[in-house]
């Protein structure tokens, strides 16, 4: 089969943008996996407590990252239109806002750590280790908020390598510090879950330093300098930012709340579910890492084309991304079954947890079939097209009118098997994928911001 020059250019562009982000995602997952495995050596109590704390921590992160993703949509179109000045002002504003968000969560976590853990589980044994973990991890909120926000926004101007460099350094730093601090080496005391939290904080501090030095000294596209930092938006910029970003921020926050509610449901039906879900989560997120990278490439490429008024080319590339999503879905589904037994061998958990993990793995293979379509069409193409209000409404329907209510009924009314419950709680993604394809077929999904 002969590939035309436009298709070759499309593949090359996707490869350049998606590969660094995909590798970055894999490295981050490996860090989390090794984190889990090391903490798992401390027993099921520790891994479950850390997993519960991680659900809350993700809420902290998405509050800042949601703003960055919204800005990314606008900045991608600005970059296509060649408007660097607007990009720098929006960049400054979002970085400043992320600092305030991180500080708010830091105060809340400092005042109410036990209450936060009890939101997710009614099992008393999980509260103390969860509180110990959060009491240190809260210091990473500001560090992560700034660095991750900057990395996400830099993707809009095709500066994607800094995230990869950060992840590589963070990987080695976090693994080494975990080994030292969790188990106690080089004469240091064994800190257990507190050591895992401290290792994360130190790794995030290094990430922040690298990100800021790169942004203000070496970044080649924006050539941002500290004296250009100006967080004050005029009315036009602010209204555009709120119109596009508010729905995406709501999606991110509500999606995290969905994860929290899922944890609340599953944490009450089986003492083994949360640990099993932690292992299964690794098995499907590793092969889907390149879906995230490709979704980022999709967002940037489609946004740049729209900003440059190349609407027909944007539509052609959108169809190419749909075909890519189908291939990714099939591959990801098979990879879950390959990776899961390997991951299970590294965890010191009960036989009941291992059995449930294997059963949930089959459900995961079914649900990830359509996940790449959600990534690329819902979170990629339509978001780049500025359809953020529609995305918010559909996301709310998918999660709060479909996944959560049906999951609650499946768990507490019908008492379905946890593996079936796993699939039911993720049914909202199927609805979003189908809706997104229908919208794409209507051919009126482009909204030009710039």
In a domain, 147, yes or no: yes
Tell me if the pTM is above 0.85: no
* Residue written as token pair 């989560």: 281
| Per-residue confidence (pLDDT) for residue 397, from 0 to 100 | 92
Tokens 């036009």, residue? Answer: 236
Q: Is pLDDT at 137 greater than 80 in this prediction?
A: yes
Flag whether 161 is in a domain: yes
- Under a CB-based contact definition with an 8 Å cutoff, are residues 357 and 280 in contact? yes
C-alpha 149/C-alpha 144 separation (Å) is 8
Expressed as residue numbers, the domain containing 196 is 5-442
Q: For residue range 152-203, what is the model confidence (pLDDT) as tens digits?
A: 888 888 887 888 888 788 778 888 888 888 888 888 888 887 888 888 889 8
Rounded Cα gap, residues 376 and 437, in angstroms: 10
Domain assignment present for residue 221? The answer is yes
Is 450 a member of any domain? no
List pLDDT tens digits, range 311-367. Answer: 888 888 888 989 988 998 898 899 889 988 888 887 777 788 888 888 888 988 988
For residue 107, how many other CB atoms are within 10 A of its CB?
10
Mean pLDDT, the chain, whole residue set:
82
The CA-based dihedral angle spanning residues 115, 119, 120, 126, taken in that order and rounded to the nearest 10 degrees = 30
Q: Binning pLDDT at 50, 70 and 90, where does residue 275 land?
A: confident
Q: How many residues does the chain have?
A: 450
Q: Does any domain span residue 340? A: yes
Count: domains in the chain: 1
Does residue 317 belong to any structural domain of this protein? yes
| 448 part of a folded domain | no
Contact 433, 373 (CB under 8 A): yes
């Amino acid at each position: 089969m002969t590939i035309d020059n436009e298709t070759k250019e499309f593949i090359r562009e996707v490869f350049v943008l998606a590969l660094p982000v995909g590798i970055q995602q894999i490295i981050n997952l490996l860090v989390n996996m090794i984190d889990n495995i090391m903490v798992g050596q401390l027993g099921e109590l520790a891994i479950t407590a850390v997993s519960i704390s991680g659900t809350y921590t993700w809420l902290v992160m998405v509050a800042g990252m949601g703003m960055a993703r919204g800005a990314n949509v606008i900045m991608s179109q600005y970059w296509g239109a060649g408007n660097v000045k607007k990009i720098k002002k929006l960049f400054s504003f979002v970085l400043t806002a992320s600092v305030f968000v991180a500080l708010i969560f830091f105060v809340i976590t400092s005042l109410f750590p036990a209450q936060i853990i009890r939101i997710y589980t009614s099992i008393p044994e999980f509260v103390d280790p969860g509180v110990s973990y959060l009491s240190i991890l809260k210091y990473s909120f500001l560090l992560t908020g700034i660095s991750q926000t900057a990395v996400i926004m830099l993707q809009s101007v095709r500066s994607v390598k800094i995230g990869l460099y950060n992840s590589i350094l963070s990987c080695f730093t976090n693994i080494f510090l975990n080994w030292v601090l969790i188990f106690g080496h080089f004469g240091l005391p064994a800190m257990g879950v507190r050591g895992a939290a401290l290792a994360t904080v130190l790794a995030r501090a290094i990430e922040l330093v690298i990100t800021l030095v790169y942004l203000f000294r070496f970044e080649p596209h924006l050539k941002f300098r500290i004296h250009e930092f100006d967080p004050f938006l005029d009315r036009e910029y602010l209204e555009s930012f709120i119109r596009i970003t508010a729905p995406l921020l709501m999606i991110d926050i509500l999606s995290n709340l969905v994860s929290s509610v899922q944890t609340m449901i599953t944490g009450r039906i089986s003492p083994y579910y949360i640990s099993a879900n932690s292992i299964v989560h690794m098995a499907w997120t590793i092969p889907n890492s390149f879906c995230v990278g490709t979704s980022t490439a999709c967002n940037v490429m489609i946004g740049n084309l729209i900003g440059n008024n190349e609407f027909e080319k944007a539509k052609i590339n959108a169809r190419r991304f749909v075909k890519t999503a189908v291939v990714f879905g099939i591959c990801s589904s098979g990879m879950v079954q390959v990776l899961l037994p390997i991951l299970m061998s590294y965890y010191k958990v009960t036989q009941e947890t291992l059995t449930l993990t294997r059963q949930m793995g089959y459900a995961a293979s079914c649900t990830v079939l359509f996940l790449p379509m959600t990534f690329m069409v819902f979170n990629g193409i339509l978001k780049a097209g500025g359809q953020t209000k529609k995305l918010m409404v559909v996301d709310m329907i998918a999660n709060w009118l479909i996944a959560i209510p049906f999951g609650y009924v499946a768990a507490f009314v019908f008492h379905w098997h946890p593996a079936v419950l796993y699939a039911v709680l993720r049914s909202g993604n199927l609805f979003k994928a189908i809706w997104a394809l229908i919208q794409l077929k209507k051919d009126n999904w482009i909204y030009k911001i710039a």
